């Protein structure tokens, strides 16, 4: 019997596929990419280290030849795959079916150098039927896809590694620039600039509560004396006043209240009633982009979390491939969806004919099929055995797919015009005549049934001449609101609309923006930092094309044309990077023109000072006259909680005043006689007992809990914070229970003795200064969560000789294991189900050893550091297996 080796990316995918293959097939995982461009100088082989281009990892002097290296953590994987290949008669490369998957297969082919027949095996769902079809329909490696992916990788490396060092010199160390990342950051900055420039306007209107034939309904003032009443849309965002030429009536508070009093006793009459039937059609099934948007809106999952969760569902055979721009459904999927509709909702809820959708996204590619439940019949969410976010995401995909084959919803839109004196009111209503697909899925809502009720606004049966009775007429004041910050969902939508980047990369791009400090995620909104403002201003002035959405979209277009063989990759890279107008020359020319002081300054109007970027973050700088009459520079750190849009002259003056005059005392601590101060630091406001002195170098300090405003803080509250932790009582099993305030917020702790402590974070409704023993015991009885409120995905148990168990968590940077205070990330491709206790112990020991080594290095003397290092053996590398440019030709379908 022939032996076939099948290589996939992850152990989870391998385990699922293994169950669908006949005897004689062995499935192994590559654990993601097996080689890549060097990440840092230590990975560059000795032979190339002295080369000018070595840090780029791309030989720009030799047809942009990439230098590929095998990372240290992949050498063992490659060795094991080579061993597995020795006993095989055939090799099947079964990595994902997109460009990235094709690239991984090519790299495997280059590294393994198989002497047996090699075929490419592709599938977009992991089911028995799909794997069986894929085995019968293998193909050759698609080199057009490989070249397209390689060109993108090289282009991204050229942009990132050429611009990032410039940012280190001119703005701050550790920053990065990217082909798509920098454009996305600029979108955030532009929105924040608009918020900063925004001026709020105020207006008043009336709302009436009326009744007729025993039913109540609401109506809103629309006209007065024949003139339209002003709404938020009538205001100029830059002035806060009505737009020029606006013919609307702006009511003052007094006018609105007086009018409300008059109309309560007026005679109300229905002037006109209008009913307009309409239909709503279901939205298409999910693409990568729309899945990220909807999961963010409904499930509050980040793009990164959504893709990680979707990848797990795909690899375990629950959904089809999750990286796609297509909204197309196969005949098999349509049949399965229609069967679900008929069995669950009845034939009247089926669309008259099978419904297909066309892709409208710019630069759509990888058009295999929309994201849907896998298989010839769809498992209902309750039949999957899934839990938590896996279940929530699967249910979202299931509902959206099933809804796509359901009948339209039929609605009637109603409008009633009412008159009372010179005032005209309008009441709007909506009646759902047939819910159709609303029964399964309402976009933006978690609960379709609740959404149906919420969407209906019923009005009583009214006709012209009817006289409803006023129950209440209320004057309402309004303020116009600044443009909303981008959420992850709205940023993904904007990037896709503009044709910037690929949806499959949005998750990593947004993650990088947050990780690099360009933005923070607050209440699901992406708030750009002062550093983002500084970097964007530098790029806008000196490299405007690289942050122009139109230019980036055209670049994306060209990259897609390269993948289709319409454009040659080498001339394109040559024109982009080399020559008089190339990026390399442009950066060299501009570097001398860019003043570091200017590039580290954030220009914000209306401030009595400037904002600068320093080693430790943003700070204010102002010129002041000192006590000696000499002009001096005053610098004050900006708290992280203050955003560019929120920093005004009043806040800046307060921070500078405190820095210049010293803190203002809240009062005296009666126990010690020390003054208690309210201060502002980089991480926000805090209270301090006494001042720093030789006798008291570290006075007692306490941060203000989240939600406590500095202006509302009393002396008693400050003293309470400074006296934390406070004893709540004794635990029934022995040991003290206390409440305190730590790095991650307020908490309760059970001190069991001998150094063993059990912590729980307080909930939003709990006050650290007043929480009692009973509530603390209630919290301590709850299952322990990891940092960020995470529940352990899996408890691996206690290693031999240890009192602490090891648990698996899902964090913002991926899966990791935790024991006590030591965390260690799981290797790429490893899932929670793949890790064993022995694996976890090995990872944690390696992490602990690395920390010790790092500490030893930091204490090494300068003399020892100056010694010439011994020659190191270069890491295992494979220089590109790509064809030289002179031998490259574009392979078109049908070519040999």
CA distance 809 to 792: 5
Going by C-alpha positions, the residue among 687, 629, 637, 645 that lies closest to residue 663 is 687
Helix H segments across 406-447? none
Q: Are strands 675-681 and 684-689 parallel, antiparallel or unpaired?
A: antiparallel
C-beta neighbour count of 16 within 10 angstroms = 20
SS3 content of the chain, % helix, strand, coil (to 5): 35, 25, 40
H/E element, 745: strand 745-753
Going by C-alpha positions, the residue among 369, 396, 401, 370 that lies closest to residue 381 is 396
Peptide bond into 725 cis (omega under 30): yes
Cα of 446 vs its chain's centroid, Å: 20
Structure tokens at 400: 């959206």
Residue from 25, 203, 314, 321 carrying the catalytic annotation: 321
Q: Under a CB-based contact definition with an 8 Å cutoff, are residues 297 and 444 in contact?
A: yes
394 catalytic? Reply is no
Query: What is the three-state SS of 132-184?
Result: HHHHHCCECCCHHHHHHHHHHHHHHHHHHHHHHHHHHHHCCCCCCCCCCHHHH
Q: What is the DSSP string of 843-895?
A: HHHHHHHHHHHHHHHHT--HHHHHSPPPPPPPPPEEE--SPPGGG--PPPTT-
CA distance 69 to 67: 7
Going by C-alpha positions, the residue among 154, 163, 8 that lies closest to residue 68 is 154
Cα Rg for the chain, rounded, in angstroms? 32
Distances (CA, A) of 802 to 242, 797, 808, 861: 70, 10, 17, 36
Q: Half-sphere exposure of residue 335, counting CA atoms within 13 Å on the CB side?
A: 6
Q: Under a CB-based contact definition with an 8 Å cutoff, are residues 223 and 242 in contact?
A: no
CA distance 333 to 471: 54
DSSP state of 49: T
C-beta neighbour count of 390 within 10 angstroms = 17
C-beta neighbour count of 437 within 10 angstroms = 27
CA distance 846 to 840: 10
End-to-end CA distance of the chain: 31
Q: Under a CB-based contact definition with an 8 Å cutoff, are residues 313 and 298 in contact?
A: no
Q: What is the DSSP string of 791-853?
A: EPSEEEEPPTT-SS-EEEEEETTEEEEEETTEEEEPPTT--TTT--HHHHHHHHHHHHHHHHH
Q: Half-sphere exposure of residue 259, counting CA atoms within 13 Å on the CB side?
A: 25
Instruction: For the sheet with 118-120, list strands across it.
Output: 25-29, 4-8, 90-93, 118-120
CA distance 564 to 692: 68
CA distance 787 to 772: 24
The backbone torsions φ and ψ at residue 406, rounded to the nearest 5 degrees and listed phi first, read -100, 165
Peptide bond into 199 cis (omega under 30): no
Q: What is the DSSP string of 169-180?
A: HHT-TT----TT
Q: Under a CB-based contact definition with an 8 Å cutoff, are residues 550 and 877 in contact?
A: no
Check the CA dihedral 242-245-251-255 and report its sign. Answer: positive
SS3 category, 675: strand
Structure tokens at 348: 């009247």
Catalytic residues: 321
């Amino acid at each position: 019997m022939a032996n076939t080796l099948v290589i996939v990316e992850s152990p989870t995918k391998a385990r699922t596929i293994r169950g669908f293959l006949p005897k004689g097939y062995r499935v192994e995982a590559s654990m993601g990419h097996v080689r890549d461009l060097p990440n840092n100088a230590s990975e560059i082989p000795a032979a190339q280290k002295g080369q000018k281009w070595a840090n780029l990892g791309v030989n720009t002097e030799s047809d942009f030849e990439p230098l590929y290296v095998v990372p240290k953590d992949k050498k063992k994987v490659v060795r094991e795959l080579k061993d597995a290949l020795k006993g095989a008669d055939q090799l099947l490369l079964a990595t994902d079916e997109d460009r990235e998957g094709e690239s991984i297969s090519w790299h495997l082919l280059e590294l393994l150098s198989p002497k047996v027949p090699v075929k490419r095996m592709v599938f977009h769902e992991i089911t028995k039927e799909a794997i069986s079809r894929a085995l019968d329909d293998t193909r050759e490696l698609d080199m057009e896809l490989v070249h397209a992916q390689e060109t993108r990788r090289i282009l991204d490396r050229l942009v990132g590694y050429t611009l990032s060092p410039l940012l280190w010199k001119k703005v701050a160390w550790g920053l990065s620039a990217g082909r798509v990342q920098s454009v996305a950051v600029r979108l955030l900055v532009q929105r924040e600039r608009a918020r900063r420039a925004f001026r709020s306007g105020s207006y008043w209107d009336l709302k009436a509560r009326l009744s007729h034939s025993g039913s109540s309904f609401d109506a809103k003032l629309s006209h007065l004396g024949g003139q339209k009443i002003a709404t938020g849309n009538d205001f100029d965002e830059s002035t806060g006043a009505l737009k020029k030429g606006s013919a609307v009536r702006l009511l003052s508070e007094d006018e609105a209240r007086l009018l409300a009093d008059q109309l309560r006793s007026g005679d109300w009459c229905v002037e006109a009633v209008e009913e307009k039937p309409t239909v709503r059609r279901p939205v298409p099934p999910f693409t990568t982009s729309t899945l990220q948007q909807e999961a963010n809106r409904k499930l509050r999952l980040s793009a990164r979390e959504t893709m990680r969760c979707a990848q797990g569902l795909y690899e375990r055979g629950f959904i089809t491939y999750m990286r796609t721009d297509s909204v197309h459904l196969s005949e098999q999927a349509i049949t399965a969806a229609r069967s679900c509709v008929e069995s669950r909702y009845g034939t009247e809820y089926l669309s008259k004919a099978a419904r297909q959708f066309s892709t409208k996204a710019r630069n759509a590619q990888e058009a295999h099929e929309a994201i849907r439940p896998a298989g010839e019949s769809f498992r209902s969410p309750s039949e999957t055995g899934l839990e938590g976010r896996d279940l929530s995401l699967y249910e979202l995909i299931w509902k959206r797919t099933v809804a796509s084959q359901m009948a339209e919803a039929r609605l009637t839109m109603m409008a009633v015009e009412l008159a009372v004196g010179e005032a005209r009111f309008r009441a709007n209503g909506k009646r759902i005549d047939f819910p159709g697909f609303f029964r399964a899925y309402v976009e933006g809502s978690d609960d379709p049934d609740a959404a149906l009720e919420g969407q209906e606004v019923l009005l009583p049966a009214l006709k012209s001449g009817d006289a409803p009775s006023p129950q209440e007429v209320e004057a309402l004041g309004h303020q116009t609101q600044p443009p909303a910050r981008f959420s992850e969902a709205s940023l993904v939508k904007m990037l896709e609309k503009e044709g910037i980047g690929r949806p499959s990369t949005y998750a990593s791009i947004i993650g990088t923006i947050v990780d690099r400090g360009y933005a923070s995620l607050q209440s699901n909104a992406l708030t750009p930092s002062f550093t983002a403002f500084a970097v964007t201003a530098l790029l806008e002035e000196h490299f405007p094309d690289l942050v122009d959405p139109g230019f980036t979209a055209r670049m994306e277009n060209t990259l897609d044309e390269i993948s289709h063989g319409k454009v040659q990759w080498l001339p394109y890279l040559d024109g982009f990077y080399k020559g008089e107008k190339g990026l390399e020359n442009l950066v060299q020319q501009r570097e001398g023109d860019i003043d570091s002081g200017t590039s580290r300054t954030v220009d914000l109007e209306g401030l009595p000072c400037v904002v600068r970027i320093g080693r430790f973050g943003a700070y204010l700088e102002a010129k002041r006259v000192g006590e000696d009459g000499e002009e001096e520079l005053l610098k004050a750190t900006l708290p992280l909680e203050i955003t560019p849009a929120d920093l005004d002259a009043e806040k800046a003056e307060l921070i500078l005043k405190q820095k210049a005059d010293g803190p203002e005392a809240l009062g005296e601590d009666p126990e010690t006689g020390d003054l208690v101060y309210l201060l502002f630091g980089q991480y926000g406001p805090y209270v301090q007992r006494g001042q720093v002195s030789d006798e008291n170098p570290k006075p007692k300090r306490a941060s203000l809990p989240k939600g406590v405003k500095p202006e509302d803080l009393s002396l008693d509250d400050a003293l309470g914070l400074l006296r934390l932790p406070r004893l709540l009582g004794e635990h029934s099993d022995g040991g003290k229970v206390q409440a305190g305030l730590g790095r991650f917020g307020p908490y309760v702790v059970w001190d069991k003795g001998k150094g063993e402590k059990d912590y729980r974070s307080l909930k939003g409704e709990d006050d650290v200064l007043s929480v009692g023993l009973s509530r603390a015991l209630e919290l301590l009885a709850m299952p322990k969560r990891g940092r960020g409120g995470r529940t352990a995905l899996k408890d691996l148990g206690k290693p031999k000789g240890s009192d602490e168990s090891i648990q698996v968590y899902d964090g913002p940077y991926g899966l990791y294991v935790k024991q006590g205070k030591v965390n260690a990330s799981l290797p790429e491709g490893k899932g929670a189900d793949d890790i064993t206790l022995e694996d976890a112990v090995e990872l944690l020991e390696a992490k602990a050893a690395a920390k010790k080594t790092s500490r030893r290095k930091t204490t090494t003397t300068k003399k020892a550091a100056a010694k010439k290092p011994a020659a190191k053996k270069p890491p295992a590398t494979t220089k590109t297996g790509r064809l030289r440019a002179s031998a490259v030709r574009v392979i078109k379908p049908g070519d040999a």
